[in-house]
């Protein structure tokens, strides 16, 4: 999510931590490594490391103890090509890391080769076209584009890597206005299983381009560069509203009626946690019009509303939870331990379903976060890109920051009669029938493209196509 530089905090902290716990194969300790790894080190310009664990590779600390065979930090696409060819020749599992935020830890591989793309993180803007490296962190993307009064829609977590986000969809608080991140990808460069660098756009390698916009990160190759459509924006308004717990079901009823059908300038999230029911959102307009729009929510008894406006970078920092901090501090890598999953809602939740949702959160152990769809997201046809979820009202994220898997599975089961599908970027290693849940009617075409570009499944992980 940021320009790779040894002066940047994450690269210093993360890279130094890896080196401290590794053999740097290009250095004097290289003789301790296997001949095949020494050969790889000679083929690439970036460092080849053998860390003792994945503590600096993954955001979810549940997977920090995984030990890869080696970690390569490529400095260009040629390095990535060398890694793919090396892994294919030796039948070594290979995985890419852009930001390390895979919910299921797929940014690392036990006994495999991790292609850590942190050095490929530049950002440039020409006209309305953004060219960015795969490991560009969102906060850095937002900061650099904000200088030109521009943005690309993405998520709120500041250290998420751009490629992983875009390949699986990319939902955020500008989503209903400008679409998913993947909807705004106009071209990309990818190294496929045969070691070739391919440009993909609407006219070149069109099938692969289709698959890479929503077909999930890691399935078709390693992206080394992306081009995206920029949108002009300088500021926005925000709101936060809360209700007494006793009004949770009524508040949810009002929100689900308003949020998915609201003008596309509004994107909002409804949160149900133990002892708390609230909503927050972003509006591309003024505070007065925002307050009028939120009338149905404020009429629920006990509502407490706050609104404000800010420059767009300050807005992104607000959603990232680092308002007032420097961009560098905001982008510090802060791993967590958690379990998460998701499901989609295509019809308004009934009174019974709303009662179940509120009750599940009140049991303790987790939070339900409802992301409103509609707007620009649902204007795209389901088969126009690989991202199939175009007829949904909202997505429910089941999140347990205490890594309480029992709560997570119980909440998913309780709401299953009222939900379907799942969001591939909230990848869930325990999800039954996951291929259909993530990709729906687009699954058959995705499998066909996978067979064409990676017949030997060089790119494989537990939930790989």
What CATH number corresponds to the domain at position 13?
3.30.43.10
Provide the CATH number for the domain around residue 185. 3.30.465.10
Same domain for 377 and 276: yes
Q: What is the mean pLDDT of residues 10-31?
A: 40
List % helix, strand, coil for the chain (3-state, nearest 5).
35, 20, 40
Same domain for 170 and 191: yes
Lowest mean pLDDT among 111-115, 223-227, 357-361, 402-406: 402-406
Contact criterion met (CB below 8 Å) for 115 and 94 = yes
Percent of the chain with pLDDT over 90: 91
Q: Is the pLDDT of residue 167 over 90?
A: yes
Same domain for 380 and 245: yes
What pLDDT score was predicted for residue 15? 42
What pLDDT score was predicted for residue 5? 25
Identify whether 208 is part of a domain: yes
End of a domain among 98, 116, 134? 116
Identify whether 276 is part of a domain: yes
Q: Give whole-number Cα distances, 222 to 50, 103, 255, 285, 451, in Å.
A: 21, 19, 39, 38, 16
Report the 10 Å Cβ neighbour count for 326: 12
Same domain for 324 and 282: yes
Same domain for 380 and 272: yes
Same domain for 241 and 227: no
What confidence category does residue 405 fall into, taking pLDDT thresholds of 50, 70 and 90? Answer: confident
Number of structural domains the chain divides into: 3
Lowest mean pLDDT among 21-25, 389-393, 397-401: 21-25
User: With left for phi above 0 and alpha for psi between -120 and 50, is residue 318 left, alpha or beta?
Assistant: alpha
Identify whether 463 is part of a domain: no
What pLDDT score was predicted for residue 26? 45
SS3 assignment for 347-412:
CCCCHHHHHHHHHHHHCCCCEEEEEECCHHHHHCCCCCCCCCCCCCCEEEEEEECCCCHHHHHHHH
What pLDDT score was predicted for residue 206? 98
Q: Could you give the CA distance from residue 356 to residue 272 in angstroms, rounded to a whole number?
A: 11
Residue whose structure tokens are 């920029």: 230
Identify whether 2 is part of a domain: no
End of a domain among 204, 232, 260? 232
Single out the residue of 356, 363, 354 nearest to residue 250, CA to CA: 354
Percent of the chain with pLDDT over 70: 93
Q: Is the pLDDT of residue 241 over 90?
A: yes
Q: Could you give the CA distance from residue 10 to residue 332 in angstroms, rounded to a whole number?
A: 6
What confidence category does residue 9 fall into, taking pLDDT thresholds of 50, 70 and 90? Answer: very low
What confidence category does residue 32 fall into, taking pLDDT thresholds of 50, 70 and 90? Answer: low
Same domain for 294 and 189: no
What confidence category does residue 295 fall into, taking pLDDT thresholds of 50, 70 and 90? Answer: very high
What pLDDT score was predicted for residue 403? 72
Q: Is the pLDDT of residue 364 over 50?
A: yes
- Alpha-helix residue ranges (DSSP H) falling in 59-174: 77-90, 138-146, 162-168
Q: Give whole-number Cα distances, 211 to 106, 164, 166, in Å.
A: 19, 13, 11
Same domain for 185 and 106: no
Same domain for 136 and 198: yes
Contact criterion met (CB below 8 Å) for 13 and 44 = no
Identify whether 455 is part of a domain: no
Q: Is the pLDDT of residue 14 over 60?
A: no
Identify whether 337 is part of a domain: yes
Same domain for 160 and 298: no
Does the pTM surpass 0.75? The reply is yes
Q: Could you give the CA distance from residue 178 to residue 164 in angstroms, rounded to a whole number?
A: 19
Same domain for 363 and 273: yes
Same domain for 131 and 57: no
Provide the CATH number for the domain around residue 324. 3.40.462.20
* Helix (H) or strand (E) segment spanning residue 116: strand 113-116
Residue 28, judged by CB atoms within 10 A of its CB (0-12, 13-18, 19+), counts as: exposed
What confidence category does residue 31 fall into, taking pLDDT thresholds of 50, 70 and 90? Answer: very low
Q: Is the pLDDT of residue 137 over 90?
A: yes
Q: What is the mean pLDDT of residues 230-257?
A: 98
Q: What is the mean pLDDT of residues 198-209?
A: 98
What pLDDT score was predicted for residue 353? 98
What does pLDDT average to over the chain?
A: 93
Q: Could you give the CA distance from residue 450 to residue 461 in angstroms, rounded to a whole number?
A: 14
Identify whether 266 is part of a domain: yes
What confidence category does residue 33 fall into, taking pLDDT thresholds of 50, 70 and 90? Answer: confident
What length does the chain have?
A: 465
Q: What is the mean pLDDT of residues 313-338?
A: 96
Identify whether 447 is part of a domain: no
Q: What values do phi and psi take at 223, rounded to 5?
A: -75, 135
What pLDDT score was predicted for residue 41? 97
Expressed as residue numbers, the domain containing 183 is 123-232
Q: What is the mean pLDDT of residues 268-284?
A: 97
């Amino acid at each position: 999510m940021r320009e790779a530089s040894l002066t940047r905090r994450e690269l210093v902290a993360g890279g130094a931590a890896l080196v401290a716990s590794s053999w740097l194969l290009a250095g004097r300790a290289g003789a301790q490594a296997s001949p095949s790894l020494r050969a790889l080190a000679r083929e690439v310009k970036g460092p080849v490391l053998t860390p003792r664990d994945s503590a600096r590779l993954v955001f979810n600390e549940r997977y920090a103890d995984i030990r890869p065979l080696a970690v390569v930090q490529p400095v260009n696409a040629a390095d990535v090509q060398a890694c793919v060819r090396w892994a294919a020749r030796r039948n070594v599992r290979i995985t890419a890391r852009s930001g390390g935020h895979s919910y299921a830890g797929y940014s690392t591989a036990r006994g495999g080769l991790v292609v850590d793309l942190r050095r490929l993180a530049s950002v440039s803007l020409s006209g309305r076209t953004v060219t960015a490296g795969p490991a560009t962190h969102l906060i850095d993307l937002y900061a650099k584009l904000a200088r030109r009064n521009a943005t690309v829609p993405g998520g709120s977590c500041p250290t998420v890597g751009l490629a992983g986000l875009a390949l699986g969809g990319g939902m955020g608080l500008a989503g209903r206005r400008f679409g998913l991140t993947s909807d705004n990808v106009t071209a990309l460069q990818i190294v496929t299983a045969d070691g070739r660098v391919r440009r993909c756009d609407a006219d070149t390698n069109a099938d692969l381009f289709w698959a890479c916009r929503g077909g999930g990160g890691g399935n078709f190759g390693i992206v080394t560069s992306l081009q995206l459509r920029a949108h002009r924006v300088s500021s926005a308004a925000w709101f936060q509203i809360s209700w007494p717990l006793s009004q949770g079901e009524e508040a949810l009823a009002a929100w689900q009626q308003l949020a998915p059908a609201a003008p596309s300038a509004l994107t909002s999230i409804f949160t149900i946690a133990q002892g708390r029911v609230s909503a927050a959102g972003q509006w591309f307009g003024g505070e007065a019009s925002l307050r009028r729009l939120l009338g149905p929510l404020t009429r629920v008894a006990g509502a407490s509303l706050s609104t404000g406006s800010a420059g767009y970078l300050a807005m992104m920092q607000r959603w990232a939870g680092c308002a007032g901090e420097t961009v560098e501090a905001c982008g510090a890598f802060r791993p967590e331990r958690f379990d998460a999953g998701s499901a989609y809602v295509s019809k308004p939740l009934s009174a019974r379903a709303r009662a179940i949702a509120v009750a599940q959160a009140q049991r303790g152990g987790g939070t339900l976060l409802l992301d409103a769809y509609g707007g620009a997201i649902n204007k795209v046809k389901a088969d126009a890109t690989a991202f199939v979820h175009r007829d949904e009202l909202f997505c429910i994220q089941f999140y347990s920051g205490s890594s309480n898997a029992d709560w997570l599975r119980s909440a998913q089961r309780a709401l299953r009669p009222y939900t379907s599908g799942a969001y591939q970027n909230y990848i869930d290693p325990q999800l039954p029938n996951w291929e259909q849940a993530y990709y729906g009617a687009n699954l058959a075409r995705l499998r066909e493209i996978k067979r064409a570009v990676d017949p030997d499944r060089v790119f494989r992980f537990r939930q790989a196509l």
